[in-house]
Structure 1
Amino acid sequence: MRAAVCVQAGGPEVLRIREVPVPAVRAGWSLVRVKGAGLNRSELRTRQGHSPNVRFPRVLGIECVGVVAVSTDPALPAGTTVAAVMGEMGREFDGGYAEYALLPNALLMPVTTTLPWDVLAALPETYLTAQGALDALGIAPGDRGRLLIRGGTSSVGMAAASIAAGYGVETAATTRRQDKTDALTAAGVDHAILDTGGSLTDDVHAIWPDGPDHVLDLVGASTAADSLRLVRRGGTVCVAGSLSGWLIPDFEPIAMIPSGTRLTAFHSDDLKGGAGATLLRRIVQQVEAGLYRPNLDRVFGLDDIVAAHRHMENDQAAGKVVVLP
C-alpha cells in the first residue's frame, strides 16, 4: 500500500510517499481502508519533533474515515463505514496518512451517511472537539450568552461558530488575516475581529463592554492568560486548541485567574470510540440537513501531502484541510 511516512523530525519535506506492507490484522484491531483523513496542527507539531512519545519513521494522522476491510469485531463487519480519532493514532501507532490503517476496535465509530468522503473526513476531530468544548463551557441551545472564539478560522473554530449559530449564541471570532474575515461571517460569526498579536481588550469591549460570557481559546498557550482577562468576571475560558503550542510559560493560577472566573479545557480523546459515536452520527445528520457547515477548505491527494502540510503551516487554510488516499 502507499503511505505518507514521516521519516524524521523536520519540515514538510520529511513526509515521503512510500510503498509499505499492508498491516497484519491482530486480535482487537481491524483493518480500515482509508477514504479520507483530516489534517490537524497537532500532526504538524509531531512532524516537527515536538511529540516526545513519537519515534520515526511514523505514518501520521490522528483521524480518518473509511471502510472496514478486515474485521475482528462482530459489531463492525467488513464493509462498515467508520471514523476514528485520537487514541494515539499517528503517534504510538501508524495513523491515517495511508491507504490502509490498522486501528483498535475501540476507536472505530460506525457511521451511515450519503456525504462524499472529503466532506465526511472534514468532520470527526473538528466537530467532536468543537461540540465537546462548547459543552465544557456550558453552552446549550437557546443560550443567550456571548461567545468569543480565538483562532476562529481554524477548522475547530469554524465548527464551533456553526454550532453556536445554530444555538442562537451571539458570537465573535478572531483571525490574524484580513482576507479570512468573510469566512468567519459565512460560518455564522456575528463579529469578526482582526487579531494583530496584542491584547484584544479594546476590540472585544467595543462589542461587549463587560466582556464575553465564554471564551473558546483555540490558540492556547500564548493567549490563555489574556483570555482570562477578557472574559467577564465569573465567566468561563475553555482551552481546546494548541495553535501556539502546548505549554503556558510562567503560569501562576492565583495571579492569572480572576476570582470567580473559571478556566477549563477539553481534549477530544474524551470522545473517541463509543463515547463519540452517537455524537458523530448526530453531527453527520446536521451536516446532511444543511444545519452545520463542513467548512472544508481544500482537498489534497496523498501524493501532495507535502503541499498540504505547507498550506496548513503557512496558515493559508480557513477551515479543514483533507487528504484523500
Structure 2
Amino acid sequence: MRAIVISEPGGPEVLVWQEVPDPRPAAGEVVIDVAASAVNRADLLQRQGHYPPPRGASDILGLECSGVISEVGEGVEGLSVGDKVCALLAGGGYAERVAVPWQQVMPAPDGISLAEAGALPEVSCTVWSNVFMTARLRKGETLLVHGGASGIGTLAIQLAKAYGSRVLVTAGSAEKVQRCLDLGADEGVNYREEDFAERFAGQADVVLDIVGARYLPGNIDTLKTGGRLVVIGMQGGTVGELDLGKLLAKRASVSASGLRNRPVDEKGVICRGVANNIWPLISAGAIRPVVHAEVPMANAAEAHRMLEAGQHIGKILLTR
C-alpha cells in the first residue's frame, strides 16, 4: 500500500507518498480501507519531531479516518468486512489502509458522505469527552469555546447548541467570528482586536481552551461560580500563572486532557458515547461537519501548509 512517510523532521516538504508494508489485523483489530483522513495540529508537531506516537502505535501520521472494513481480526465484536465506518486512531490515517482496535471504530453516520465522516472522529471524541463527560455541560449553561472556527470549535458550537446551551467564542478574524455566529454561537470576539476576558467576564460555566498558558488568567476571569475550565491544547505555552484566590472564590475547577495516549478501553467508552449521542444529531441534520477543503492524500504537504497558514474554517480533509 501507499502512505505518507516523514523523510526527516521538518517542514511540509518532508512528507513523501510512498510504498510501505500493508497492515495486518492483530487480535482485537480491524483493517480499514481508508476513504479519508484529516489534518490535525498534532500532525504538524509530529512532522516537526515534537510529538512522537505512543509506544506500539504506527509512526504514520493521521489521528482519524473513514472508510470500509476489509479485514477483521480475532476477538472483534460487532464489526464485519464491508462495514462503512470511521475511527479514532493513535496514528496511521495518512495511508491507503490502517489497522485499528475495534473499540475505536464507529459506524459512519447517516446523512453525510463517507469522506465527510473522516472529519468527525477526533473533534467529536475531543468535544464529547471534555465538554460533556469531564465538564458536564448542562442545558441552559454557557460554554466559551476558544478557536471557534477550528474543527473542534465548529463541532463544539453546534453540539452545545443542540443540547440547549449558550455559546460564546473567540476567533482570529471578523470573518471567522461571523462564521461561528452562523453556526449558532450567541456571541463572538475577534481576539486580535478585543480582550475576551473583559467581554465575557463571569459568564462561562464551561471553557474549552486550546491555547493553554497564555489564556489561563483570562479563562479564570470568565468563569462563573462553579465554573469548569478544560485545557486541551498548548498553542499559547505550557507554563502559566494561576490565581488560586480567584479559583477558590469561584469554587471553580481546572482540568486538562488528551486523547492519543489514553488506553484503548477508555477510547472505546468515548467512541460509544459519540456514536450514541452525536451521530443521531448528524443523521437528523442538526449538526454538520464543517470542511474547509478536500486535498488528495498524496498532496498532504499542501494540506499541512493550509493548516499552518491559519486561514481555514473547520477541517481539512485528505481524500483517496
TM-score surpassing 0.5?
A: yes
What is the aligned partner in structure 2 of residue 82 from structure 1? 85
Give the counterpart of 1:195 among 175, 191, 194.
191
Equivalence for 1:241: 233
**Residues 1-325 of structure 1 correspond to what in structure 2 (within 5 A)?**
1-52=1-52, 58-72=59-73, 73=76, 75-86=78-89, 89-90=90-91, 95-111=92-108, 113-135=110-132, 136-140=134-138, 143-196=139-192, 199-205=195-201, 210-244=202-236, 247=238, 249-251=239-241, 254=244, 257-259=247-249, 260-268=251-259, 272-325=267-320
Alpha carbons of 1:197 and 1:309: their partners in 2 closer, same or farther (altered >3 Å)? farther
CA contact (8 A) 1:31 1:71 kept: yes
User: Which residue type is aligned with residue 301 of structure 1?
Assistant: P
Query: What's the offset of the Cα at 1:108?
Result: 2.5
CA-CA distance at 1:156 after TM superposition = 0.8
Letter in 1 for 2:318: V
Q: Deviations over 1:19-76 (max 9, x none)?
A: 2232234333322101111221111111111114579x93100111111111113632
The residue identity in structure 2 corresponding to 1:308 is A
Assess if the C-alpha contact under 8 Å between 1:187 and 1:293 holds in 2.
Answer: no
Q: Which AA in structure 2 matches 1:129?
A: T
TM-score, normalised relative to structure 1: 0.86
* 1:114-170 alpha-carbon deviations (Å, 9 max, x no partner): 521222111111122112222122212xx2222211111111111111011122222
Counterpart contact for 1:5–1:17, Cα < 8 Å:
yes
CA distance in 2, matches of 1:258, 1:76: 48
Counterparts of 1:45 and 1:62 in 2: how far apart (Å)? 13
* Contact 2:4/2:15, CA 8 A, preserved across alignment: yes
Counterpart contact for 2:3–2:95, Cα < 8 Å: yes
1:82 Cα deviation after fit: 2.5
C-alpha offsets along residues 180-227 of structure 1, whole Å, 9 cap, x if unaligned? 12210121111110002884233224xxxx332222212223313321
Partner AA of 1:214 in structure 2: V
Secondary structure class of the residue paired with 2:82? coil
User: CA 1:233–1:275 in structure 2 vs 1: closer, same or farther (change >3 Å)?
Assistant: closer
Name the aligned partner's letter for residue 187 of structure 1: L
Contact 1:82/1:108 (8 A) holds in 2: yes
Distance in 2 (alpha carbons) for counterparts of 1:138 and 1:278: 13
**Given the two structures, how large is their TM-score scaled by the length of structure 2?**
0.87
Change (3 A) 1:112 1:118: closer
Question: Is the contact made by 2:292 and 2:312 (CA closer than 8 Å) also made in structure 1?
Answer: yes
Q: Conserved in 2, the CA contact under 8 Å of 1:221 and 1:244? A: yes
Alpha-carbon offset, residue 236 of structure 1? 1.6
Structure 1's 5 and 255: CA in aligned 2 closer, same or farther, altered over 3 A?
farther
Structure 1: 4+ residue segments shifted above 6 A? none
Distance 1:38 1:70 in 2: 22
What's the secondary structure of 1:321's corresponding residue?
strand
Gaps of 5+ in 1: none
Retained in 2: the 8 A contact 1:233–1:258?
Answer: no
- Alignment partner of 2:214: what SS? coil
What secondary structure is seen at the aligned counterpart in 2 of 1:172? strand
Q: What whole-Å deviation, never above 9, does each CA across 1:259-311 have from its counterpart, x for those lacking one?
A: 32211234345662354135225422211211112122211111221111111
3-state SS of 1:159 partner: helix
Which deviates further from its counterpart, 278-287 or 149-158? 278-287
Give 3-state SS (helix, strand or coil) of 2:203's partner.
coil
**Shift in alpha-carbon separation, 1:22–1:125, aligned structure 2, 3 A:** same
Question: Sequence identity, in percent?
Answer: 29
- Please report the RMSD computed on the Cα atoms of aligned residues, expressed in angstroms: 2.6
